[in-house]
Amino acid sequence: MFAASPEQTPLVRIGELSRRTGVTPDTLRAWERRYRLLQPSRSDGGFRLYGPADERRVHSMKAMIDSGASASEAARLAIAGEGLAGSRGTPGGTAAEMADRLGAALERFDEPAANDVLDSALTTLTVEAVINQVVLPVTRAIGQRWEAGAISVAQEHFATGVLRARMLALARNWGAGAGPVAILACPPGELHDLGLVAFGVVLRDRGWKIYYLGPDTPIAEVARAASELRPAAVVLAALSRDPLERDAAEIQALASGCRVLLAGQGADDELAARLGAEAMTADPVAAALRLGG
Amino acid sequence: MFAASPEQTPLVRIGELSRRTGVTPDTLRAWERRYRLLQPSRSDGGFRLYGPADERRVHSMKAMIDSGASASEAARLAIAGEGLAGSRGTPGGTAAEMADRLGAALERFDEPAANDVLDSALTTLTVEAVINQVVLPVTRAIGQRWEAGAISVAQEHFATGVLRARMLALARNWGAGAGPVAILACPPGELHDLGLVAFGVVLRDRGWKIYYLGPDTPIAEVARAASELRPAAVVLAALSRDPLERDAAEIQALASGCRVLLAGQGADDELAARLGAEAMTADPVAAALRLGG
Amino acid sequence: MFAASPEQTPLVRIGELSRRTGVTPDTLRAWERRYRLLQPSRSDGGFRLYGPADERRVHSMKAMIDSGASASEAARLAIAGEGLAGSRGTPGGTAAEMADRLGAALERFDEPAANDVLDSALTTLTVEAVINQVVLPVTRAIGQRWEAGAISVAQEHFATGVLRARMLALARNWGAGAGPVAILACPPGELHDLGLVAFGVVLRDRGWKIYYLGPDTPIAEVARAASELRPAAVVLAALSRDPLERDAAEIQALASGCRVLLAGQGADDELAARLGAEAMTADPVAAALRLGG
DNA sequence: ATAGGTTTTGTCAAGCTTTTGTACAT
DNA sequence: ATGTACAAAAGCTTGACAAAACCTAT
């Protein structure tokens, strides 16, 4: 459904965990030794046996390191984040639980309930955490459930509308920053801008100044705005590859004049390289953090 | 007042002032010595530090010299002429003035200024008045200026994005009402929903409970939602007639089961009558009032 | 009471901060040494660890230098002007943190700061959450601190005044609803109506139509209004039991004609039962929700 | 306008420590 | 698997430097 439910997951050994997370076994052992990130149970023969919680922790630690944190900091938060979301009684439960409840509320057209969940998420977690662990997972889940025919278009529209409105509220005055300038837009044909807004909110929190042109913006217009506003980065987001391909030439031209980032599932390294741009395949929050001045 | 507010413009040294005004540092020092045109504060090490007032004085002195005045005369006038210059931008004013300022801010991509205008409008006027006399007029003006080629698509997108976000903020939790239920949607092909949102905000202000499906929603989906949510009214908004014509049959079917209102410039009495719906040609606020009493 | 809570964004080392801001580590260290721009915490081994606030400050300083300011000036403003480019839209932290900041601002008679906190709370959260998790907790804390002699009467009055004004601003037009009607009043002798207003705001948010008679209203007057307005509920709020007891007979008469709710700490089940009314001992938001569905 | 001295500020170097992924021997 | 070791990368501090910008006085 909206998040992993606690089912009977088999324990895995260090090799498998390494394969799943992309972290070498040596490093995993080092993280266990140095930061007590993991506390695996053992097989009769002494092999380490890891559960899903361990995998989550490794993933979260890796994500933070990728976004520039030091290993020790990442470990501290990966561990603390567990405890905070889990045992210690947060009123709303873990982030995953809140995501579940949010998704359910949206599916039954219950805006007040959805807002309640978001309120409690925002009172417990940071904006970034809410975006990353609640809003975006629900967005993805709803998209998938719609594709699978499990929910109607109306439900999908309703849900998107509610989430978009809340994200835009968080974006208030993101044009007031003193830092580097970013222009945000979706190319023509692309209407889904939730991820883009999320990205902008995180950047704003880091001191960036955001100019938001929104969905379905012609590249030529982005270029014109760029020549006027002199941004440190232009971000183009698309869920599918088509809109980016269609305007490839224009994007390439734009990228020759300023730094262009391609975001969303429509972006990949090959395409980005071809257009002289950069791809941001990770989630918006990590991408925002990685982005330098 | 109660506390000294910190300056918000940094003081600049003589080189920067020279660069900004086009007057050599030597001359600036001479003007200070001879005419006491400037009385800069000093850094710990003794560097001159100028504020914005100094810059204005130099500019004005330079302008007078360029137009033929003697240096001493120009200095006398530049010093005396202080205080004449405009008082700080008055935040209030009539609704029309606020609309002007809002439009100007949006055209120059100045989100914070736009939000300031909206903030002060919302503290002075009611929500309905702000919508009717500020937001919607600005929306229309921007649309016209775009059609006339006076502003770019980027400006139009930026402006729409800011206004939409503010309207959606006013709409927060509009699904929590205890009054009659309304479903709001734009038909397929119609992407402009600002007027629709405005209409919803006014309805919500009258206690209605709003289900918002947003732009580009298939009529069949609206019908499905209607059969589930049993609304007192379904509102379909479109800027042009086409989207409504295209789905005429479906709309007619929908209208046989519940009250359907057609809004926006795409709606007219003839069309509405043909589809068994009602047309709301007037502005959203008036329409909402007529509907909701 | 007004304490700080831990962060949860990863701290970064100087290299990462440098990458994000485009300022070399050497320069960052120089800015720290010379202007105390940054005061990073340290790792066990002595590495500097920076948070998001540091990043904002560096961005802001860099922007000022780029626009011609001297480094020392830029640093001065980046430090002092934390609020100018920063708080302007940077919604701060969790609800508890906002409550802390609000309480602190009110105690030092800093109305602008208090309003800033409320502004950012209202953009982040829904009205209900702000009332429940920010305004009312602060109100209670201030009441207790006043009883304990920790703050003066003047401080308490000032704080109540600011909060009341904001609540009343939220209450604007609360008589326009289309839903059920509620009459709100405090009995004679009761002057504290903040909780009552909060209750009304939440009810209005759910679509109710509010008639607000305010503090110190004779019950006979409430009854007369009720006979004219036919409310779905009459709410009487009092902080102590006395005012309700004193007019017990009249309240009982009123309750025989319509639904009467007793709110505030002066209400309890025994009293309510005796008068034929209902007690709402829980917080206003919960009570409103229970009432209004 | 020139000259001669001062301030400001980014950068660099040297020598040493911390952090962290990986390698190796048992 | 464990424990130890290693080495590259990144950081720290102190001190100094030099170019640019600024000062005063002649």
Give the pLDDT confidence of B131-175 residue by residue, as tens digits: 999 999 999 999 999 999 999 999 999 999 999 999 999 999 999
Q: Indicate if CB(B43) is under 7 A from strand D.
A: yes
C1’ E14 / CA C38, Å: 20
Does A89 score more than 70 pLDDT?
Answer: no
Greater pLDDT, B292 or B99: B99
Helices assigned H by DSSP within B67-130: 71-80, 95-107, 111-124, 127-130
Q: Which of residues 174-203 of C touch strand D (CB under 7 A)?
A: none
Average per-residue pLDDT for chain C: 87
- Residue C233 has φ and ψ, to the nearest 5°, of -160, 145
C1’ E3 / CA A129, Å: 38
In chain A, which residue's Cα lies nearest the Cα of C99? A123
Q: Which of residues 172-231 of C touch strand E (CB under 7 A)?
A: none
Does A1 score more than 60 pLDDT?
Answer: no
Does B8 score more than 80 pLDDT?
Answer: no
> Would you call C177 and B207 a contact, using CB atoms and an 8 Å cutoff?
yes
Does A244 score more than 90 pLDDT?
Answer: yes
Q: Indicate if CB(B29) is under 7 A from strand E.
A: yes
pLDDT at C213: 93
A12 — pLDDT class (breaks 50, 70, 90):
confident
Kindly list the residues from chain B whose CB atom is less than 8 angstroms away from the CB atom of residue C154.
none
In chain A, which residue's Cα lies nearest the Cα of C205? A112
pLDDT at A291: 57
- Residue A243 has φ and ψ, to the nearest 5°, of -60, -35
Return the partners of chain B (3 or more C-beta pairs < 8 Å).
Answer: A, C
Q: Indicate if CB(B47) is under 7 A from strand D.
A: yes
Kindly list the residues from chain A whose CB atom is less than 8 angstroms away from the CB atom of residue B192.
none
Among the partner-chain residues C59, C90, C94, the one whose CB lies closest to the CB of A180 is C59
How confident is the model over C63-74, as a mean pLDDT? 91
Classify strands B181-185 and B233-237 as parallel, antiparallel or unpaired: parallel
Q: Indicate if CB(C46) is under 7 A from strand D.
A: yes
C-beta separation of B78 from B57 below 8 A: yes
A209 — pLDDT class (breaks 50, 70, 90):
very high
pLDDT at A226: 95
Nearest protein residue to the C1' atom of D23, measured from CA:
A26
Give the pLDDT confidence of A144-182 residue by residue, as tens digits: 999 999 999 999 999 999 999 999 999 999 998 888 899
How confident is the model over C50-76, as a mean pLDDT? 91
B251 — pLDDT class (breaks 50, 70, 90):
very high
pLDDT at A288: 64
Q: Indicate if CB(B34) is under 7 A from strand E.
A: no
> Would you call B208 and C207 a contact, using CB atoms and an 8 Å cutoff?
yes
> Would you call A122 and C123 a contact, using CB atoms and an 8 Å cutoff?
no
C1’ E4 / CA A55, Å: 27
How confident is the model over B229-248, as a mean pLDDT? 92
Among the partner-chain residues A123, A173, A180, the one whose CB lies closest to the CB of C94 is A123
Which residue's structure tokens are 């920790």? C150
- DSSP three-state, residue A277: coil
In chain A, which residue's Cα lies nearest the Cα of C21? A293
If one counts every other C-beta atom within 10 angstroms of the C-beta of residue B8, the result is 12
Q: Indicate if CB(A70) is under 7 A from strand D.
A: yes
Greater pLDDT, C135 or A42: C135
pLDDT at B131: 94
A67 — pLDDT class (breaks 50, 70, 90):
confident
- CA of B26: nearest nucleotide by C1' is D1
- What is the Cα–Cα distance from C285 to C293, expressed in whole angstroms? 12
Q: How far is A240 from chain C (nearest CA, A)?
A: 29
Residue B212's beta-bridge partner residues? Answer: B184
> Would you call B127 and C173 a contact, using CB atoms and an 8 Å cutoff?
yes
pLDDT at B201: 93
> Would you call A169 and C19 a contact, using CB atoms and an 8 Å cutoff?
no
Give the pLDDT confidence of A101-138 residue by residue, as tens digits: 999 999 999 999 999 999 989 888 888 888 988 999 99
> Would you call A177 and C85 a contact, using CB atoms and an 8 Å cutoff?
yes
B3 — pLDDT class (breaks 50, 70, 90):
very low
Nearest protein residue to the C1' atom of D10, measured from CA:
C27
Nucleotides of E under 7 A from a protein CB: 1-2, 4-5, 10-14, 16, 21-24
Give the pLDDT confidence of B20-71 residue by residue, as tens digits: 998 999 999 999 988 888 889 998 888 999 988 899 899 888 888 888 888 8
pLDDT at C3: 39
Nucleotides of D under 7 A from a protein CB: 1-2, 6-12, 17-24
Q: Indicate if CB(A12) is under 7 A from strand E.
A: no
Q: Which of B162, B159, B171 is nearest to B199 (CA)?
A: B171
Q: Indicate if CB(B52) is under 7 A from strand E.
A: no
pLDDT at B101: 96
Does C143 score more than 70 pLDDT?
Answer: yes
C47 — pLDDT class (breaks 50, 70, 90):
very high
Does B83 score more than 60 pLDDT?
Answer: no
pLDDT at B80: 79
- What is the Cα–Cα distance from C234 to C143, expressed in whole angstroms? 26
pLDDT at A79: 87
Report how many Cβ contacts below 8 Å link chain B to chain C.
87
Greater pLDDT, A289 or B249: B249
Greater pLDDT, C30 or B123: C30
Q: How far is B207 from chain C (nearest CA, A)?
A: 4
Contacts of C27 (CB under 8 A, 6+ apart): none
Kindly list the residues from chain B whose CB atom is less than 8 angstroms away from the CB atom of residue A169.
165, 168-169, 172
Q: Indicate if CB(C15) is under 7 A from strand E.
A: yes
Q: Indicate if CB(B47) is under 7 A from strand E.
A: yes
Return the partners of chain A (3 or more C-beta pairs < 8 Å).
Answer: B, C
Q: Which of C227, C234, C229, C232 is nearest to C263 (CA)?
A: C234
pLDDT at B75: 86
Burial degree of B292 (CB within 10 A; 0-12, 13-18, 19+):
buried
Give the pLDDT confidence of C80-132 residue by residue, as tens digits: 866 444 344 455 667 788 899 999 999 999 998 899 899 989 989 999 999 98
Kindly list the residues from chain C whose CB atom is less than 8 angstroms away from the CB atom of residue A120.
129
Residue C32 tokens, joined? 């720290």
Amino acid at B33: R
- What is the Cα–Cα distance from B279 to B263, expressed in whole angstroms? 6
pLDDT at A6: 45
Does A220 score more than 50 pLDDT?
Answer: yes
Q: Indicate if CB(A26) is under 7 A from strand D.
A: yes
How confident is the model over B104-123, as a mean pLDDT? 94
C1’ E24 / CA A179, Å: 38
Residue A256 tokens, joined? 């020759």
Q: How far is A242 from chain C (nearest CA, A)?
A: 31
C1’ D13 / CA A31, Å: 35
How confident is the model over A67-75, as a mean pLDDT? 89
pLDDT at B6: 40
pLDDT at A44: 80
- What is the Cα–Cα distance from C276 to C272, expressed in whole angstroms? 6
A85 — pLDDT class (breaks 50, 70, 90):
very low
- What is the Cα–Cα distance from B223 to C175, expressed in whole angstroms? 33
Contacts 24+ apart (CB under 8 A), A77-81: A77/C8, A77/C10, A78/A37, A79/A35, A79/A36, A79/A37, A80/C8, A81/C8
Share of chain A above pLDDT 90, in %: 49
CA-based max dimension of chain C = 79
pLDDT at A3: 47
